[in-house]
Structure 1
Amino acid sequence: MLSDVGKGESKWRRFLCFSCPAPLKRLRRRFFTAKGFLVCFSCYIFFQSMVSSGYTAGVSSSIEQRYSLKSSEIGTIISAGDVGSLSTVVFVSWFGGNGNRPRWVAAGGFLVVLGSVLFALPQLISGNYEPSGTDPSSIDDDLCQANYSAVNPEDCLNVGPKNSVYMFIFLLANVIIGMGGSPIFTLGTTYVHDAAPVRSAPLYVSVVYLVGAIGPAAGYVLASQVENRWVDPLQEPAVSPADTRWVGQWWLGYIISAIFVLLSLLPLFLFKKQPPSNIVELNSSENSELNEELINQSTTSSQMSFGNSITDLPRNLMRQLSNKAFTLVTLTMCCEFTIVVSFLTFMPKYLQEQFSIDSSISALLCGGVLLPAAGLGIVLGGYLIRRFDLDMVGCAKMATFTSILSICLIIPVFFLKCGSAPIAGVTADYPLESNTISKHGELPIADCNANCDCSGVYQPLCYDDMTFVNPCLAGCQMSVNGSFGDCACLDTAAKSIIPSGACEKDCFHMMAPFLVFVFIVTCVTASAQTPAIMITLRCCSDGERPLAMGVQFLIMRLLAYIPAPMYFGAAIDMACILWDNTASECDDDTGACAIYSPDIFRYIYFGLTIGVKLLAFLLAAALWRELYKRSKNDDNGLIQESASLPTSESLVTHSAAS
C-alpha cells in the first residue's frame, strides 16, 4: 500500500525528498505533518472567511451609496455566496472526497482569489466618485431657480454603465467566492480530522473552527480601516466621514484579501492525498493492512454521504426528512441562523442609521460584539450540556428556553432609540410653515420652495439643529465656497450662510446599552446551536449521521443563509422615507435610500426578528414534545441513545459547518 501511495508523488516532490540536503529533508518531514497541515489550513481559512463572511457586510454601506443600490440588493449580493457554495457542495463532496483533498481545497482558493479581484472591478470601470452637490461647476444647479431643470437630456446619452451592470458583477463575484469556499468544511476539515492523532482530533478540529470564527471578525476590522479612507486614493475627499454621502475604499480590502488568500493556499498543494500521520512506516503485512484500512476510512469519512450514487440523493433525502425529530430540529436551526445572518448582514447599517455613527465605527463595533457573542454562546451551550448531562429531551428543553429568553431580551431594544436630527419636510415641519411633512418617498415641497423645481438629490444642510434635504428645498438662492445663503425656508436668520452637511447628534448614551443587549441576545441565540446539533446527531443512527449532516447543510442554506438577507433587506427598504436619485436622473430608478425613518427601521428590523424567534420557539416546543413522546414510547430509547452518542469531534465539525 505504501508503494501505491508513493506512485502518486510528482517528480518535484521526490526531488525535494531525495535530492535536498539533510537539513531540508528534516524540515520537510516536520512540515508534512498533521500540525503542519493544521497551520497551513488555518491560515487559509482565516483569510478566506475574512473576505467571504465579514468584510462584505462591513463595507456594504459604501457599496450601496457608491452604486445606488437598495438594501434588498445588498442582501441578494451577500446571499450569492451561499448560492455558490450550495451549487457545488455535492460535486465537491463526491469527487473531491476520492481525490487529493488538500489540492481540492487549494483549487477552490484560486476561485476565492478570482472572486475577490472581480469584486473590486467596478472601482476600475466606474470612474471617480462625485457626491451630489460637490461639483463646483454645477453648484448653481443646486440652488432654487424657477422653471429650471438640472437634467440636460444630452447628458443622458453618454451615461456610464447602469447599476444593473455593477450588480451583476457583484453577484458573479460572490458566487465564485462561495464556490471556492465549499471544499473547506466538506474536505479540508475531514483531512484535519483524519491526519490528527485520535485523541487530539477534537482539539485540531476546534482550532480550525476557532480560526474560522476569528476570520469574519478580522473582516469587520479590515472594513473599519478602509472605510476611513476616501474611495478614490488620488482624489481629495469631497465630504467628511460623518457625511452620509461618504464612501470609503471598499475595494481595497478585496485586493488585500486576494493577495493573502493566494499566499496561504500555495502550501496546500504540497500535501499528499493520504493524511500524513495515518501512515505506519513499517513493512509488515499486518501494518500494511492497517494502512489500507486507514486510507479507506479516510476516503469514506471525507465525503458527505448522499448514497452509493448521485441518483440516490432524492430517495435518501426523503427518508431523512421522514424523521420528524430531525425535521423539527433542522427547521428550528434555520430560524435561529436566520437571526444570526440578519444581524451579521444589516447590523452595521442599523447602527449607522439609528445612532448617527459613520460606517467605519459601525463595522468595528459589529466585529467586536456580534462574533465574540456568538462564539461565547456556542461554548456556553456545550458547557451546559456537559454540566447537566442533558439527553435529547433536555437539549430540546434548553433550545425552547433559550428561544423564549431571547425574545424577552429583544423587547427592551424597542425602547433604545436615538435617531437623527429632524429633517425639514420629511420628519418635521418647515420652520415657517405647518403641515408640511410629505408622504414617504415624495419630495418635501412647501410654499417656500414650491417654485424652485427641485430634485431629490441628497445634499444636506444643517441650520438650527434641523437638516434640509438640499439647498434647493431649503429655498437657497446664493452659494459661497460650498456654503449657501438667502434661503427662503429659514426663519429671520435667512440671510445667514449655512454650511453643507447633515446635523450631527450624539447617541452614545443609548448605543452602549443597545450593544449590551445585542451581545446578550446573540449569545443566548447561539447557545441553542450546540443542543440542536446534539439532537441532530443523536436522533439518527450511526450510518445516517453523515447523510443527516449533508441534508441539514443543504436545508439551512436554502431556508436561512440564502433567503434571510434578501427578505430582511426588502423589509428594511420599506423604512426608507427619501430616496436619493443622484444616479437616476436619466431613468426611473429610485437609487439608494438617502434617509431612513429610525422608528420604522427599528420596528421592522426587530419586529421581523421577534417573528422569526417566535417561530423558532414553536418549533422547539414541538421538538420537545416529540422527543418526550419518543422517550416514553421506546423503553430502550435511553439505552440506544447512550450507545450512539456522537464523538466530540463530530459535534465540533457539524457545529461550525452549519
Structure 2
Amino acid sequence: MFLVALSFAYFAKALSGSYMKSTITQLERRFDIPSYLIGVIDGSFEIGNLLVIAFVSYFGAKLHRPKIIAMGCVLMSIGTFIIALPHFIIGRYEYETSVRWVVNSTLNPSPCPVGSLADLTQDAGVITLLSAIPFWFLPRSLPMSGPRGPEKCTPEQTSFIKDSPLMKHKYPADEHTSFIEMAKDFIPTLRTLLGHPVYLIYLCVTIIQLNSLIGMVTYKPKYIEQHFRQSASKANFLMGMINIPAVALGMFSGGLLMKRLKLNIMGAARFAFGTSLIGYILSLFFFAMSCENAKVAGVTLSYNSMDTISYEKHPVFTACNSDCFCSASDWDPVCGENGITYVSPCLAGCTSSAGSGKNTVFSNCSCVGAAGNFTASTGQCPQKDDCDRMFPYFLALSVITSFIISLGGTPGYMLLIRCIKPQLKSLALGFHALATRTLAGIPAPIYFGAIIDTTCLKWGQKRCGGIGACRIYNTTAYRIAYLGLTLSLRTVSFVICIPGFILLSRQLKKEERNAIHGALSNGGAELEALRKEEFVISNSDQLQQTSDNSTDRETRL
C-alpha cells in the first residue's frame, strides 16, 4: 500500500512538473520575459530544499518516516493548487499585433498608417508579469511544496522502502529518542559523511551532470521550436510521447541488467560511466543536425539583398516603407508572396487588409514586390523543407541517447547507497538531494537561459517599457551555445570520474583487506577457544582417571 500511494504521488508530481516545463515558451510570450527570468522561475522550485531537506533526511530517519512523507505529499498538493491560481485570476492573453481593429466595423484600418508614432503606443491592457510573480515564487519556494514535493522526502522514501518491507523496523521515536540528542549528533555525523572521499567525488560528478541534464531538459522544447520551427504543442507532445518513455524504459532496463549481471559496486560504477560516455559520443552528432534560419527582412536579410542570410545588424526602415509610420518594436510577422518574412505588415509596406485573425490577408505591400500589388499573409513563412528532413533524425538520435544514458541511472544510484555505511545512508541521500538541487536545480535554468538570450537577434518590447521576450534567434549560435554548454559540463564530469575510480578501487581493496583480517582474527579466536576446550577436556579426563585409580586402590585395600 505504501508503494501504491507513493507511486501515485510521483505520478502526480511528474504530471504537474512536466506540464510546467512545457509552458516555458508560452510564459515567455504571455508575460514578455526573457529566458533567464524563466530560468529563475523554474529554479525557484528548489528554494525550499535549502531549508528542510537535510534536516528531514536526518531526523526523518529517526522518526516516523511514512508520516513525514505523507506531510510532504499534502504540502505538495497545496502548492500545486496555488501555482494554478494565476490562470483563473489574470486577464485574457492579447496577442501582439500592429493592426488596431475597429470594434463593430467591417472596415479594417490600414496597416500602413499615416500620422504620429505617438498614436501607436497605446497600451492594450495586457497584465504584466508583476501580477503573477507572487503566485509563482511563493508556492514554488515553500518547503516540500510544488510539483517536486515528494522529492524533498526522497531519502526517507528510499531508505524506508529498503529497510521496512522485509525487516522488522522499529521507529526510534517509539523508543522516546530525544530530539536534542539527535540534534547534537547531527554535525559530527555530517562531518563524518563529508570526510568520505568517494562520496564527495560522486557528489561533484552528479552535480555537474545534473547541471547539464536540467539545463538541457528545461530548454529542449524551446530548442525544437526555434531550431526546427515546430509548434509548441508538437514539440511538447513529441517530448512526452518519445523521450520520456525512452528514459523510463532505460532506467528499468538498467536496474534489470544490474540484477541479472549481479554487478558489485565497481561494476555498477563502470556500467554507469560507460553508458554515459556512449550517450556523450552520440550527442556530438547533434551539432551536424542544423537548419537555416528564417529569412526575415530587416533581421536576417537586408531589404536590398534578399538572397543570402546575414546576422549583421540590418535596418528595418527602407524606401519601400518610408511613407508608413511604423513601430520598430512590434512583432507581428507576415509572410510575403516572395517567401520572405516581414516583421509587421506595416514594415512590409502593406496599405490594406481583409479578413480577421489568422485569416487576414494584407494587400498592396510595396516591400514584397516592385509593382506594389503583392500580398502577405499572417505568420512567418514556413521555409522548413530542410528542417522537415532533418527533424526525424534528430528525434531518433534523441530517443537513442536518452535510453542509453538512462541505463546508468539505477546503477549510479545504487553506487551511492552501497558506498556509504548503513548508519550514514539516510543522511547521505538527503545531503546528496540538497546539494544537487541547490547547485544544479536552481542555477542551471538561469545561466542556460542567460546564455541562450545572448543569441537573440530581435527583442520584443513590453508595452509598459523595457525589453521583453526574444522574437527570433540566431539558430547557429543557439545550437552551438545550447549543445556546447551541455556537452562541456559532461566533459568536466568525466574528468572528475578518473580520481573517483581510483579512490573507489582503494576503498574496496581496503574493505577486502579488513574483511580478510577480520576473518583471520575470528578464526584465530575460534582456534584458541577450541584449544582451551580441548585442554579442559584433557584435564578433566586425567582427573577422572586419577580418581578411578584411587578408587581401585581403596577397593583392593
- Which residue of 2 is the match for residue 170 of structure 1? 136
- CA distance in 2 between counterparts of 1:631 and 1:108 reads 37
Amino acid aligned to 1:534 = M
CA shift in 2, pair 1:540/1:109, >3 Å:
closer
Match of 1:622 in 2: 499
CA distance in 1, matches of 2:91, 2:58: 44
Please give the alpha-carbon distance, in whole angstroms, between the structure 2 residues aligned to 1:368 and 1:637.
50
CA–CA distance in structure 2, aligned partners of residues 491 and 82 of structure 1: 54
Aligned residue type for 2:223: Y
CA drift of 1:557 comes to 1.2
Pairwise mapping of residues 558-637 of structure 1 onto structure 2 (< 5 A)? 558-581=438-461, 584-587=462-465, 589-631=466-508, 636=513
Q: Which of residues 347, 353, 370 is equivalent to 1:473?
A: 347
Query: Of the candidates 224, 232, 240, which is equivalent to residue 351 of structure 1?
Result: 224
Query: TM-score, normalised to structure 1's length?
Result: 0.68
2:199 touches 2:416 (CA, 8 Å); kept in 1?
yes
Deviation at 1:103, TM superposition (A): 4.9
1:50 aligns with 2:15: yes
Contact 1:119 1:169 in 2 (8 A): yes
**Deviation for aligned residue 1:414:** 0.9
Deviations 1:66-88, CA, capped at 9 Å, x for gaps? 11122212222222122224433
Aligned equivalent of 1:534: 414
The Cα of 1:456 is off from its aligned counterpart by: 1.7
In structure 2, C-alpha distance between the alignment counterparts of 1:38 and 1:633, rounded to whole Å: 37
- 2:25 alignment partner AA: S
Instruction: Return closer, same or farther for 1:311/1:466 CA change in 2, 3 Å cut-off.
Output: farther
* 1:430 and 1:436 in contact (8 A); partners too: no
Q: Report Cα offsets for 1:39-82 as digits up to 9, x if no partner.
A: 3343333223311x211011222222111122212222222122
- Residue 323 of structure 1 corresponds to 196
Asked whether the 8 Å contact 2:458–2:470 carries over to 1, the reply is yes
Match of residue 376 from structure 1: 249
Q: Judge conservation of contact 1:487–1:495 (CA < 8 Å) in 2.
A: yes
Inter-partner Cα distance in structure 1 for 2:239 and 2:517: 43
**Are residue 500 (structure 1) and residue 378 (structure 2) matched?**
yes
Aligned residues: 501
**Alpha-carbon distance in structure 2 between the residues aligned to 1:95 and 1:544:** 12
Deviation, structure 1 residue 117: 3.0
| Separation of aligned partners in 2, 1:94 and 1:393 | 27
Cα distance, 1:365–1:349 mapped onto 2, change above 3 Å = same
2:391 aligned to which of 490, 511, 527? 511
Distance in 1, matches of 2:436 and 2:518, equals 25
Give the aligned partner of residue 29 of structure 2: 65
Distance in 1 of aligned mates of 2:269 and 2:518? 14
**Matched residue, 2:368:** 490
- Aligned mates of 1:372, 1:44 — CA distance in 2: 18
Q: Do 2:271 and 2:408's aligned partners in 1 also have CA atoms closer than 8 Å?
A: yes
| Maintained 8 Å contact 1:400/1:621 | no
Aligned residue for 2:534? Answer: none
Q: Which amino acid aligns with 2:379?
A: G
Aligned equivalent of 1:444: 316
* Equivalence map 1:383-422=2 (5 Å): 383-422=256-295
Equivalent pair of 2:368/2:374 in contact (CA under 8 Å): no
Distance 1:61 1:577, change over 3 A: same
Question: Does the alignment pair 1:136 with 2:101?
Answer: yes
Aligned to 2:524: none
The CA RMSD over aligned residues, in Å, is: 3.5
Deviation string, structure 1 residues 257-292 (Cα, Å, up to 9, x no partner)? xxxxxxxxxxxxxxxxxxxxx7xxxxxxxxxxxxxx
One-letter identity of the residue aligned with 2:233: S
1:116-265 equivalent positions in 2, closer than 5 A: 116-133=80-97, 135-137=100-102, 140=109, 142-143=111-112, 145=114, 147-152=116-121, 155=122, 162-176=128-142, 177-178=145-146, 180-182=149-151, 184-187=153-156, 196-197=165-166
| 3-state DSSP of counterpart to 2:489 | helix
Change in Cα spacing, 1:501 to 1:299, as seen in structure 2 (3 Å) is farther
CA distance in 2, matches of 1:640, 1:172: 56
- Report how far residue 337 of structure 1 moved: 2.3
In the alignment, which residue of structure 2 is the partner of 1:525?
Answer: 405
1:68-118 alpha-carbon deviations (Å, 9 max, x no partner): 122212222222122224433245446666666555444444433333333
Instruction: Tell whether the 8 Å contact from 1:448 to 1:475 is kept in structure 2 after alignment.
Output: yes
Aligned mates of 2:114, 2:307 — CA distance in 1: 23
The equivalent position to 1:296 in structure 2, one of 139, 163, 171, is 171
- Is contact 2:36–2:448 with CA below 8 Å preserved after alignment? yes
Q: CA deviation at 1:412?
A: 0.9
2:213 counterpart of 1:340: yes
Q: What's the CA shift string for 1:298-349, capped at 9, x where partnerless?
A: 979xx9xx99533554443333222221111111122222233223311111
Deviation at 1:386, TM superposition (A): 4.2
Three-state SS of the structure 2 residue aligned to 1:143 is: coil
What is the aligned partner in structure 2 of residue 80 from structure 1? 44
Q: Is the 8 A contact 1:462 1:499 kept in 2?
A: yes
List alignment gaps of at least 5 residues for structure 1: 1-34, 199-277, 279-293, 643-658
Asked if 2 retains the 8 angstrom alpha-carbon contact of 1:67 and 1:163, the reply is yes
Amino acid at match of 2:403: C
Distance 2:401 2:86 in 1: 37
Stretches of structure 2 that go unaligned for 5 or more consecutive residues are: 520-557
> Residue type matched to 2:398 in 1?
V
Larger Rg: 2
Cα shift at 1:610: 0.9
